[in-house]
C-alpha cells in the first residue's frame, strides 16, 4: 500500500504511521516541521512533505501515486464556529480536491461527536440521525458530507474517546489522579465508550483496505461501556496501583457551564484557543457517548485488543517513562 497521511505527526496519526511502516507499506506524511517529524519516528521514518493543509503544492506532491489517503488531521479546538468549519470541512474538501486518480480509498477520521450523544444504556449502532451538540461535532459532520459527495471510494471512522501514549488531553486526568484528585462533570454517571490508540491505528489500516468497508461509516470502539466516575477511578488505579483511590469530585452542571464559559471567554480575550469552552459543556454534560463496533467488526474482522484497565496501565507507564507524570 502507498499511503498518504495527514496529521501523521499527531497523537493518532503517529501510531498509524508506525503501524503502516511496520507492515512494510510506503508512507508519506504532510508535516509543518520535517525535522521534528523525522525525530518522532525511531526505527523507520516515513517520507515527509513539508507543508500544511492550506498548501496546494504540498498536498498535490504528497499524494502523487498514493493508493490510500488517511485524513487524520483536524481541529479539536478553534476560535469560533467558522474557524472549526474552515479547519475541518474546508481542509477536507481541499485534500479531496487534490487527490490523484491513483487513490482507491479515502479514510476519513471523524469523531463520535459528529453523531449525537445518546441515552444511558443505549449505544449508537450506525445509521441513526446525526445531531451534533458542539461546533466541533458539526464541523466534523460537514466534513463527512464532503467525503460522501466525493467520487473517491471512502470509509469514515468515528472514534469515541481515544487514549494512549503521546496523548496530551487525558494527561491532565492522569496528573490530577496522581495527586489523588478525580474531578468529574455532572453526577459522574455519564456513560462513555473508549478506544486505545493502538487499536484505533489497526482499525484505520483495515478501513483502508477492507473491500466491505467501502462506503461505510463505523464506530471503532472497545465494547466496554464505562461511567465517567469509574473511568477517573480506573485512571487513579493506573497511576497509583498500591495507593488509595482518588477522591472523586463531582462538578455540578451549572457550575461546570459557568466555569467553562469563563475559561472560553478568557482564552478569547487573550487570543488563545482552548478545548474548555461553553460550547464544550454540551458534550461534557450529555448523558452518554457510547457506540458499538459491531458493524465494523462484521465488515473488517477488527476487534479491540486492549480493555480499559490494560490500556490505562500502558498509558501511565509511558507517561512515567517520558517524565510526563
pLDDT higher than threshold 80 for residue 55:
yes
CATH number at residue 214: 3.40.50.720
Task: Identify whether 64 is part of a domain.
Answer: yes
Q: Are 184 and 249 in contact (CB under 8 A)?
A: yes
145 vs 143: CA distance, rounded Å: 5
Model pLDDT, residue 256? 86
pLDDT at residue 45, as a whole number:
84
Number of domains forming the structure of the chain:
1
Taking the C-alpha atoms of residue 28 and residue 47, their distance in angstroms, rounded to an integer, is: 4
Q: What DSSP character marks residue 168? A: S
- In whole angstroms, give the CA distance from residue 239 to residue 66: 42
**Sequence-separated (6 or more) residues with CB below 8 Å from residue 58:** 30, 49, 50, 51, 52
Query: What pLDDT score was predicted for residue 44?
Result: 80
**pLDDT at site 260:** 86
Q: What is the pLDDT of residues 107-142, one digit of tens each?
A: 999 999 999 999 999 999 999 999 999 999 999 999
| Domain, as residue range, for 8 | 2-160+195-220+292-304
- Residue found by looking up cell 496501583 in the block: 241
Q: Which residue has the higher pLDDT, 271 or 199?
A: 199
Residue range 200-259, pLDDT digits in tens:
999 999 999 999 999 999 999 999 999 999 999 999 999 999 889 999 999 999 998 898
Domain-embedded: residue 203: yes
In a domain, 135, yes or no: yes
- Residue 276 falls inside a structural domain: no
DSSP state of 124: B
The answer to the question of residue 300 being in a domain is yes
Residue 301, pLDDT score: 97
Strand duo 105-109 + 225-227: pairing? unpaired
Q: What is the mean pLDDT of residues 47-57?
A: 94
CA–CA gap between residue 205 and residue 221 (Å, rounded): 15
Give which of 165, 161, 160, 153 is closest to 207, Cα–Cα. Answer: 153
The C-alpha atoms of residue 98 and residue 87 are separated, in whole angstroms, by 16
Residue 95 has pLDDT above 90, yes or no: yes
On the question of pLDDT at 84 being above 90, the answer is yes
Q: Is the pLDDT of residue 270 over 90?
A: no
Q: What is the mean pLDDT of the chain?
A: 95
Task: Determine the 3-state secondary structure of 260 from DSSP.
Answer: helix
Quick check: 39 pLDDT over 90?
Answer: no
Average pLDDT over residues 73-101: 95
> For residue 297, what are the CA distances in angstroms to 125, 163, 164, 303?
12, 20, 22, 6
In this predicted model, what pLDDT tens digit does every residue of 275-287 receive, in sequence order?
888 889 999 999 9
Q: How many CB atoms lie within 10 A of CB 101?
A: 7
Share of the chain above pLDDT 70, in %: 100
Query: Is residue 318 assigned to a domain?
Result: no
Residue 272 has pLDDT above 90, yes or no: no
Does residue 15 belong to any structural domain of this protein?
yes
CA distances from 299 to 211, 214, 215, 316 (A): 8, 9, 11, 33
More confident residue, 161 or 265: 161
Question: So what's the pLDDT on residue 111?
Answer: 98
Distance CA 40, CA 38 (A): 5
pLDDT over 80 at 42, yes or no: no
Those residues with Cβ within 8 angstroms of residue 25's Cβ, 6 or more apart along the chain or in another chain: 1, 2, 3
Residue 237 lies in a domain: no
Cβ burial of 42 (10 Å; 0-12, 13-18, 19+) is exposed
Q: What is the pLDDT of residue 320?
A: 97
Cell of 286: 450529555
- Per DSSP, the residues of 188-234 read S--EEEEEEHHHHHHHHHHHHH-GGGTT-EE----S-EEEHHHHHHH
Angle at 315 between CA 69 and CA 275, to 5 degrees: 65
Strand (E) or helix (H) holding 6: strand 2-6
Kindly report which listed range (12-26, 30-44, 194-208) carries the lowest average pLDDT score. 30-44
Amino acid at each position: 500500500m502507498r499511503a498518504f497521511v495527514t496529521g501523521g505527526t499527531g497523537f493518532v496519526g503517529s501510531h498509524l504511521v508506525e503501524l503502516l511502516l511496520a507492515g512494510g507499506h510506503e508512507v508519506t506524511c504532510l508535516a509543518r516541521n520535517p525535522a521534528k517529524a523525522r525525530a518522532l519516528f525511531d526505527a523507520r521514518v516515513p517520507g515527509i512533505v513539508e507543508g500544511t493543509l492550506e498548501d496546494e503544492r504540498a498536498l498535490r506532491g504528497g499524494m502523487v501515486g498514493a493508493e490510500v489517503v488517511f485524513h487524520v488531521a483536524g481541529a479539536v479546538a478553534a476560535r469560533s464556529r467558522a474557524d472549526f468549519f474552515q479547519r475541518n470541512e474546508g481542509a477536507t474538501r481541499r485534500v479531496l480536491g487534490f487527490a490523484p486518480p491513483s487513490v482507491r480509498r479515502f479514510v476519513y477520521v471523524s469523531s463520535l461527536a459528529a453523531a449525537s450523544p445518546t441515552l444511558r444504556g443505549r449505544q449508537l449502532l450506525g445509521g441513526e440521525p446525526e445531531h451534533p451538540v458542539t461546533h466541533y461535532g458539526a464541523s466534523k459532520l460537514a466534513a463527512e458530507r464532503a467525503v460522501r459527495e466525493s467520487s473517491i471510494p471512502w470509509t469514515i471512522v468515528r472514534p469515541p474517546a481515544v487514549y494512549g501514549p503521546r496523548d496530551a488531553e487525558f494527561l491532565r486526568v492522569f496528573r490530577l489522579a496522581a495527586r489523588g484528585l478525580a474531578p468529574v462533570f455532572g453526577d459522574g454517571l455519564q456513560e462513555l465508550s473508549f478506544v486505545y490508540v493502538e487499536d484505533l491505528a489497526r482499525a484505520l489500516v483495515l478501513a483502508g483496505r477492507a473491500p466491505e468497508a467501502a462506503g461505510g461509516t463505523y464506530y471503532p470502539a472497545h465494547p466496554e461501556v464505562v461511567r465517567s466516575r469509574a473511568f477517573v477511578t480506573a485512571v487513579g488505579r493506573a497511576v497509583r496501583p498500591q495507593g488509595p483511590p482518588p477522591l472523586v469530585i463531582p462538578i455540578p452542571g451549572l457550575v461546570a457551564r459557568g466555569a467553562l464559559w469563563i475559561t472560553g471567554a478568557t482564552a478569547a480575550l487573550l487570543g488563545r484557543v482552548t478545548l474548555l469552552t461553553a460550547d464544550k459543556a454540551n458534550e461534557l454534560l450529555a448523558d452518554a457517548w457510547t457506540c458499538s463496533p459491531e458493524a465494523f467488526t462484521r465488515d473488517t474482522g477488527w476487534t479491540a485488543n486492549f480493555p480499559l484497565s490494560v490500556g490505562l496501565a500502558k498509558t501511565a507507564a509511558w507517561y512515567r517513562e517520558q517524565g510526563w507524570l
